[in-house]
Amino acid sequence: MGAHTITITDDTFDEEVKGSSEPVLVDFWAEWCGPCRMIAPVLEEIAVARKDTLKVAKLNIDDNLAITTRFDVQSIPTLILFKDGEPVARVVGARGRAALEEEIDRHV
């Protein structure tokens, strides 16, 4: 994980995401997923650029089936933006920074 992203699990999801006072972008990923590895540096850049207004979190789907199932994640990477603890946007598949920033800006 990057220095500016956090790792969350089934056990920490509610505290880190539902209980967050700032929006949270959750990256549902897996180690074996090539596109997930491709967007990791982009997510780190977003985490750095928005460190005061957005939390970027990573959740490994192989180790955290409860949250993966709760949000019906069927393809990875899937990015879900949470605001006030509720999902407000979903992006499935690898996207560039500009496209992700545009989606974030639309909802925060």
Active-site residue set: 33, 36
Give dist(CA 74, CA 22) in Å, integer.
Answer: 26
**Tokens in use for 15?**
């505290």
3-class DSSP assignment, residue 93: coil
DSSP code at position 27: E
